[in-house]
Chain A
Amino acid sequence: MTVRESRVCLVSIDIEGFRGVNKRVHLDFGPRATVLSAWNGRGKSTLLGAIEWVLWGELRFQASENHTHDELNSLFHPAGRATVQLTLSRDGREIVVRRQKTVRKRDSSVELTDENGQTLEGAEADSYIYRLLGLSFEDFYRAAFLHQESIRGLLTEEQKDRDEAMDRLFGVERIRDLLGAIRPKPVTTALAEIEASETNLMARLAGAGGVAEDVRTRAREEALELGYAEEELTLEHGLIEAGKLQRNLKTACEKYDHSEPADLPLVALDDLDRVSRRVKTTITEIRLAVGRESPLDAALGHLGDLRRLRAEVDETTQSHTQAASEFGEHEKEHGKPQEWARESTGLATKVDTAQAALRVLDARGRVITDALEYLEASPAAKECPVCGDPKEASKLASLLRAKVQKDLASEIRRLNRQVEESTKRLNAIEDLKLARMELQQAVETAARIKDETRDRAWHAMGRDGTAGDVVPELERKERELEAKLEGLRTLNQTRETDLKTLGEGADRLRALQRFLKADTDFARVREKAEESEGGGAKGLEEEKARLTTLKSDIDAVIFALNGLASGRAEEALASCGDSITQTYSKLCNHPYFDGLKIELGQKAVQGVQRNTYRIVAYSKKDGQRTSASSRLSTAQMNCVALSAYLSLSKVLTHNLGFMLLDDPSQNLDGEHKRALASVLGNLLPSLQLVVGTHDAEFDAALHEQWGRDGVSWYDLAWAPREGTSLRPAAAVN
């Protein structure tokens, strides 16, 4: 049995519904090697990835499509199920691993049949694989799967990426992760914050101490002013006083017909304040109740009403008397209506007589006027046109004119004067009648108002319908009420005195409570300030000490991890350093820089020491050194990466007897490809290789150097819906 046969080797694989493979594909691995040739996109990486997935259940360098990793399922598989079955062998006995995953399901299921035909599932199967292969998923990449992504970091100019890739190659990846995750900065930040907070609080406490003392002093003075003795400024005394105050309050409630409040418990300082507030509230309630139903106020109101009524009675009586007096005066001065009636009758007759005489005079006047007109028209007439007496017209006209001017006019004036005077007197009599009537109405109104007022007064005294003089009765009633008011005033004064005493008791209790609270606050501030000043285990010191310890522990862990990281890298370089140089010389065949060395250093990143690597190319002949990345081409750097990877994979201890290489010839020229085929060929006695390549030149070099003995050659094809298919490759001449 060869060394390789004692390790785990690949026998065959069946793939269906996995990524680009839709229909079932069966592949028998060659005992020495298997070469998968195809253009890009035909499924080489899928076939190699299927080996990774069936063993570990995940693909390291595959981006996730969604949280259920549906990128692992073929788009066209009818059942949406990816199935990979890998047959391995160790010591000539077969082990079959089968993994399945359904689309839209996050987890895959694994089943394993071991060398003895026993079937294991799930975690048991995973555990078996772990023990069988003798390495972890991370180690799988640096020991058995040369993936372009895993060496890409070695080719980059970025020091950080290169250091990370080298760490991964040397198995320090987990330590690097841990060093990245264990950050001391949050601890130092928290420590600084607590220290700042402590300083600030110390200053505040110092200030508060002064204020507290001041408040305490003033509260003490106030309590002493209210009659407390120094030794009475205690909670015990306050509780006794609060008890007394509660009892006094109950007595007052009983006395003044107010609902009695339930006793408050008397235990703590705040109870003093509660009792004090309760007393104050109850006093207000009693006062409000008294205000709502006050007999004193009612009596005062009644007395006021009676006094007002008495004044009204006086006033209406006076008004009535005055009206009656005015009426009498009028009668006395102007006589009575009967006299006015007699005078009026005489005056009316006089007016009628005068008016009749005036009418006669008017007729006479018109006759004389007509005669005068006639005489003026007939100046030769010799007789009177009325009586026919012989008279000369001119004489008669003169006579008539004199008559009119003298006798007739004088009589008319006299009669008119007589009518005028009589009419005036008649009008005056009418005015007197009107005035008398008004005065009479005033007397009647005043009498009515007086009666009404008196009735109201009797009514106010509760004696409706009573006749007689109301004023003396009102005065008697007022005297009665004044006497009653005096009694009520005394009662009111007593109540106010009681309530005031209670209120003062509450104020005293409150003053004592304020002092005791100020005293407690002062003591607490002083205690806190002393604790902080004194340091030790109290205050924020305890938290500071815990953070300091945590920081110290973190530093110790980082130091230990860092020591391990550098130790492992050193060990790896010591184990494979020479091999790297030799492989590099064979692969790269640089005309001048024919030697290669990887130098390990340390660099602080965010306060944590980490491994850093310098890849140095040198001339074996002249000893000239240079940074590989600055002098070598991409193809030559790829040779550097391949050298490091292949050299390291040889010295790692695990149970794998195979190695997967996905497109290892990238960027290489023809000479490099032939050199790589040769280097890989040298591994064949100890390792079973599986190579995927799209490079015809490299494929030809492999054919040339590996031959067909024990080597399986496959060409891959791909068609929509069917996916990848395999066929044995033709021999290359």
Chain B
Amino acid sequence: MLPVMTDLGAEVREALKRNGAASSAVTLWDEVYVGYRQGGPDGVTDLLESKVGAIRKAAKAEASEMRAAAGAIKKKTRGRKR
């Protein structure tokens, strides 16, 4: 007989542990499953996009800092004689 009311969240969590996945993967799965239950596939997509977006944002800020450091340097002529 096949069970129908299975706890998918727990099943995947167990599978992750069985596969030796990192604890961050288990945490990610918990977040994904909450997202799925609350918003369906779109909820999951939004969650992952927000995660990638947050990292992108941090990278953008860092890149912007680097760009600012590089961009602040401009070739200047000698000061005008007054």
Contact = CB atoms under 8 A, between A and B. Distances in A.
Interface in B1-51: 1-5, 8, 11-12, 15-16, 19, 21-22, 24-25, 28-29, 32, 36, 40-45, 48-49, 51
A9 interface: no
A193 B78 CA distance: 39
A176 to B, nearest CB: 10
Given A194-B59, A553-B22, A556-B22, A215 B4 contact: no
A180 interface: yes
Residue in A507, A543, A544 with the greatest tally of chain B CB atoms within 10 Å: A543
A437 to B, nearest CB: 70
B32 A556 contact: no
Contact of A215 (B2, B48, B63, B75): B75
A526 to B, nearest CB: 9
A190 B25 CA distance: 19
Interface stretch (A90-98, A204-212, A262-270, A382-390): A204-212
Nearest to A544: B59
Nearest to A131: B5
A191 to B, nearest CB: 9
- How many interface residues does chain A have, given as a range? 35 or more
B75 A547 contact: no
Residue in B4, B56, B63 with the greatest tally of chain A CB atoms within 10 Å: B4
Interface in A674-708: none
A540 B63 contact: yes
A511 B69 contact: no
| Interface SS majority for chain B | helix
A556 B23 CA distance: 11
A286 to B, nearest CB: 16
A563 interface: yes
B12 to A, nearest CB: 5
A550 B52 contact: yes
A483 interface: no
B59 A560 contact: no
A580 to B, nearest CB: 13
B78 A572 contact: no
Contacts of B72: 208, 521, 524-525
Contacts of A521: 69, 72-73
A550 B56 CA distance: 12
A557 B28 contact: yes
Given A553-B21, A556-B21, A560-B15, 20 more contacts: A171-B4, A181-B42, A181-B44, A190-B52, A201-B70, A204-B71, A205-B70, A208-B70, A215-B73, A218-B78, A511-B79, A532-B66, A553-B22, A553-B24, A554-B48, A556-B19, A556-B25, A572-B2, A651-B1, A652-B4
- 10 smallest CB-CB distances across A and B, nearest first, come from A181-B44, A208-B70, A181-B41, A556-B21, A543-B59, A560-B15, A556-B25, A553-B25, A204-B70, A139-B4
